[in-house]
Amino acid sequence: MKKISIVGAGNTGSTAAHWIAERELADVVLLDVVEGMPQGKSLDLLEAMPIIGKDAHVMGTNNYEDTKGSDIIIITAGIARKPGMSREDLLKTNAEIVGKAAKETLKHSPNAFYIVLTNPLDTMAYLTQKVTGLPRERVIGQAGILDSARMRAFVAMEAGVSVENVQCYVLGGHGDEMVPLTRHSNIAGIPLKEYFPADKLEAIVNRTRKGGGEIVNLLKTGSAYYAPSMACVQMAEAILKDKKLIVPCATLMQGDYGLNDMYFGVPVMLGAGGMEKVIEYKFDADEKAMFEKSAASVKESHDALKSVVSL
Ligand code: APR
């Protein structure tokens, strides 16, 4: 059995463990700083396995040694912004948490692939790549699958069709400036622009942009975790099964799309080599403008990271 370690056993981390075990995709190690909590959640999940007839082993720990020999490390550890905390303070704290998670796991799993979820996503993925010194193929940020899935869910709801008939592609940074590509998105091959009147399509795009906030407002405490964790698990599955799956993920730009030295959401191919290939779309003028605006805003967040930590 393959092994996936998840750092951060909160909502996203433990839900990812649930999806992984249910699929019998890998044995899971859930690690957290809180004592007892990852052990308790893991034991509970392990005790569900006989009911569904799956043999995935799940263990909880506070000790990085237990992550030894992992094929994949998923990083979800972090804290949410608290009242009175500045964005810089949050960035600094999460950078320390993610930086430590990356360093400690690498000691025990030198061959692992990293999937980063902690927000601000693009910069935390960048930090993980810098701290580990791994090639970009092995450090990938989650976001595009989630944003695309939200758009697919809204399209399917509006059209009254199966989610399986809906393909959507959302690129760019994981924020309001994300880049939903309506021209490339379709229902059973029919472009969304042909399927929906312009105002309806615009409403779907706006709801997608604000998808994370919509859930935060409803939950009052905490943020989304079912779809974000599932997105991570799809990435892990594509790597472990060498699927050559093309999905949007945050990837280190090395001249791709004219960008450099920053993580940004673009379509990539995931397989046994991790992020095996960046797929280049041809943009029209409007798409290019949206893409550049998003890139400028993500570049700013990388600058903010560099001002609080030395890399
Ligand atoms: N090492 C390990 N775990 C840590 C550390 C640390 N240094 N610091 C905090 N944690 C743990 C917390 O104890 C908590 O259990 O990280 C977990 C975070 O879980 P939640 O607070 O439930 O947050 P969650 O909703 O899972 O989101 C985690 O993913 O999607 C992003 O924006 C989200 O950045 C956030 C992250």
Question: How confident is the model over 210-260, as pLDDT tens digits?
Answer: 999 999 999 988 899 999 999 999 999 999 999 999 999 999 999 999 999
Active-site position among 57, 174, 184, 302: 174
Domain layout of the chain by residue ranges: 3-141, 144-306
pLDDT at position 56 is 97
Which residues contact ligand 1 via a Cβ below 6 A? Answer: 7-13, 32-34, 76-80, 97, 100-101, 117-119, 222-223, 225, 228
Residue range 144-306 forms a domain whose CATH class is: alpha beta
**CATH architecture of the region 3-141:** 3-Layer(aba) Sandwich (3.40)
Mean pLDDT for all residues in the chain: 96
Question: What's the whole-model pTM score?
Answer: 0.97
Mutate to test the pocket of ligand 1, among 33, 90, 220 (most ligand atoms within 8 A of CB): 33
Please name the residues in contact with 96: beta carbons below 8 A apart, sequence gap of 6 or more.
309
3-141 and 144-306 share one fold: no
Residue nearest to atom 21 of ligand 1 (CA): 10
Q: pLDDT of 82-124, one tens digit each?
A: 777 787 888 999 999 999 999 999 999 999 999 999 999 999 9
Checking if the pLDDT of 181 tops 90, the result is: yes
Q: pLDDT of 50-69, one tens digit each?
A: 999 999 999 999 999 999 99
Task: Respond yes or no: is residue 184 known to be catalytic.
Answer: no
